[in-house]
Structure 1
Amino acid sequence: MSRMGRVRAETSAGWRSFVRRRTAVFFTFFFPVILIVIFGALVRTDPTGEGLFTEPPAYYVPGYLAVVVLFTPLSRMGSEVARHREGSRFEKLATTPLSRAEWLLAQTVVNAVIIGLASLLILGLVIVLTGAEIGFSALLVPYILLGVVCFCGVGAMLGSYTGSQDGAVAASNAIGLPLLFLSETFVSLSQLPGWFGPLVNFSPLTYFARGVRAATYSGVETAAVAGLEPQFANLLILAAVAVVAFALGARSIPRTD
C-alpha cells in the first residue's frame, strides 16, 4: 500500500472512531456555541469603553475560532495518543508500514475536517447572534489548517509525555486556557500589563489571532511586518511554527509502549 493509501485508511478509521463517540461530537460543537451565546449575545459591549468586550463583535472572531482551533486538537490528540499508549497500540503500529508521521498526519486530517465544520458553524452564529460585520477572506482556510497542524503536534507531545488520558486532558486545559485569553484573542495588549506584552509573541495562537483579525476585521490597524501585510506575515510565522510543532509531535510519539 502506498503512503497516500496508508494515510487515507488511517484517516477513515480515525473519522469513524470520532463519530461513534456521540459525547465527543456533541461537546466539540456545543462548547463554542455556548461561548458565543454567553460572550457574544448576552455579555454586551461596555458603554464606558472599559473592561472586557469593549470592541465591536467582529474583533473577537479570532477568539471564537481559536476555541476550536486550540482546544480540539490539544484535547483530542493528547487523549488519543495517551489512549494508544495505554492500550499498547503503538507497539502494534510499529509492526505495520504506517510511520508515526503518517499516523499523526491522518489524525490531523480528521481534526481539520472537524474543526473546519465547527468554524463554519461559529462564523454563522457570530453573524446571526452578534451582528458582526466580517470580511470573509480566503486566508481563513490556511490559517485554520495551519492552526490545526500546529496544535495537533503540541497535543501529540502532551499525550506522549503525560502518564494517562486524564493527565493529557488536564495538561491540555492547563496550557490551552491561558493561551486562549493571553494571545490577543479576547484580551487586547492594551488591557495587559506592559511587561507582559512581549510574552504574547511566544504563543503560536497570537499569530493566528493577529492574522485572522487582519484578514477579517477592517477596524484594526496593524503595521506591516518585514515589508509584508500583517495577514501574510503572521501566516508565514504560523506556518513555520506549525512545521516545527508537527515534526516534534511526530518524533515524540513512542515506537513501543
Structure 2
Amino acid sequence: MSRLGRVGAETGTGWRSFVRRRTAVFFTFFFPIILIVIFGALVRTDPTGGGLFAEPPGYYVPGYLAVVVLFTPLSRMGSEVSRHREGKRFEKLATTPLSRGEWLLAQTLVNAVIIGLASLLILGLVVLLTGAEIAFSPLLVPYVLVGVVCFCGVGALLGSYADSQDGAIAASNAIGLPLLFLSETFISLEQLPGWFEPLVNLSPLTYFARGVRAATYPDAAAQSLAGVDPSIANLGILIVLAAVAFALGARSIPRTD
C-alpha cells in the first residue's frame, strides 16, 4: 500500500472512532458555543469602557477560534496517544508499514476536519449573536489548518510523556488555559505588565491570534513585520513553529510500549 493509501486508511479509522464517541462530538462543538453565548451575547463588550472585553466584538474572533484550534488538538491528541500507549497499540503499529509520522498526519487530518467544521459554526454564531463585523479572508483556512498541525504536534508530545490518559488531559488543560487568555486572544498586550510581553511572543497561539485579527478585523492596529503584511508574516512564523512541533510530536511517539 502506498503512503497516501496508508494515511487515508488511518484517517478513515480515526474519523469513525471520533463520530462513535457521541460525548466527544457534543462537547467539541458545545464548549465554544457556550463561550460565545456567555462572553459575546450575555456579558457583551463595552468599546467605550475599559478592562476585559472592552474592544468591539470583531476583535475577539481570533479568541473564539482559538478555543477549538488550541483545545481540541491538545486534548484529543494527548488522550489518543496516551490511550494507544496504555493499550499497547504502538507495539502493533511498529509491525505495520505505517510510520509514526504518517500516523500523526492521519490523526491531524481528522482534527483538521473536526476543527474546520467547528470554526465555521463559530464564525456564524459570532456574527449572529454579537453582531461582529469581520472580513471573511481566505487566509482563515491556512491559519486554522496550520494551527491544527501545530497543536496536534504539541498534543502528541503531551500524550507521549504523560503517565496516563488522565495525566495527558490534565496537562493539556494546564497548558491550554493560560495560552488561551495570554496570547493576545481575549487580553491585549496593553492590559498585561510590560515584562510579560516576551513570554507572550513565545506562544504559537499569539501568532495565530495576531494573524487572524489582521486578516479579519481591519480596524485592529496591527504592525507590519519587516515591511510584510502582518496577516502574511504571522502565518509564516506559525508555519515554522507548526513544522517544529509536528516533527517533535512525531518523533516522541513511541515505537513500542
* TM-score, length of structure 1 as denominator length: 0.99
Identity of aligned residues (%): 83
Q: Over aligned residues, Cα RMSD in angstroms? A: 0.7
**How big is each residue's C-alpha offset from its partner over 1:96-154, in whole Å with a ceiling of 9 and x where there is no partner?**
00000000000000000000000000000000000000101000000000000000000
Match status 1:12 vs 2:35: no
Counterpart residue type for residue 62 of structure 2 = P
- The answer as to whether partners of 2:223 and 2:230 remain within 8 angstroms in 1 is yes
Counterparts of 2:49 and 2:197 in 1: how far apart (Å)?
21
Aligned residue number for residue 102 of structure 1: 102
Aligned residue number for residue 115 of structure 2: 115
Counterparts of 1:208 and 1:219 in 2: how far apart (Å)?
17
Counterparts of 1:215 and 1:253 in 2: how far apart (Å)?
35
Counterpart residue type for residue 68 of structure 1 = V
The alpha carbon displacement at 1:46 in A equals 3.4
- The answer as to whether partners of 1:8 and 1:106 remain within 8 angstroms in 2 is yes
- The answer as to whether partners of 1:61 and 1:123 remain within 8 angstroms in 2 is yes
Gaps of 5+ in 1: none
Q: Secondary structure at the match of 1:80?
A: helix
Counterparts of 1:44 and 1:32 in 2: how far apart (Å)?
16
Aligned residue number for residue 215 of structure 2: 215
- The answer as to whether partners of 2:63 and 2:186 remain within 8 angstroms in 1 is yes
Where in structure 2 are the equivalents of 1:30-109 lying within 5 Å? 30-46=30-46, 49-109=49-109
The alpha carbon displacement at 1:48 in A equals 5.3
Q: Secondary structure at the match of 2:201?
A: helix
The runs of 4+ residues in structure 1 deviating greater than 4 Å are: none
Where in structure 2 are the equivalents of 1:220-231 lying within 5 Å? 220-231=220-231
Counterpart residue type for residue 167 of structure 1 = G
Counterparts of 1:21 and 1:47 in 2: how far apart (Å)?
41
Counterparts of 1:139 and 1:228 in 2: how far apart (Å)?
15
Which moved further from structure 2: 60-69 or 38-47? 38-47
Counterparts of 2:162 and 2:133 in 1: how far apart (Å)?
42
Counterparts of 1:243 and 1:197 in 2: how far apart (Å)?
24
Counterparts of 1:209 and 1:123 in 2: how far apart (Å)?
14
- The answer as to whether partners of 1:46 and 1:52 remain within 8 angstroms in 2 is no
- The answer as to whether partners of 2:47 and 2:56 remain within 8 angstroms in 1 is no
Counterparts of 1:69 and 1:166 in 2: how far apart (Å)?
21
- The answer as to whether partners of 1:153 and 1:247 remain within 8 angstroms in 2 is yes
Q: Secondary structure at the match of 1:134?
A: coil
Match status 1:138 vs 2:138: yes
Total equivalences in the alignment: 257
Q: Secondary structure at the match of 2:255?
A: coil
Q: Secondary structure at the match of 1:187?
A: coil
Q: Secondary structure at the match of 2:79?
A: helix
Counterparts of 1:220 and 1:108 in 2: how far apart (Å)?
31
Where in structure 2 are the equivalents of 1:149-160 lying within 5 Å? 149-160=149-160
Q: Secondary structure at the match of 1:58?
A: helix
Aligned residue number for residue 240 of structure 2: 240
Counterparts of 1:132 and 1:47 in 2: how far apart (Å)?
12
Q: Secondary structure at the match of 1:202?
A: coil
- The answer as to whether partners of 2:44 and 2:130 remain within 8 angstroms in 1 is no
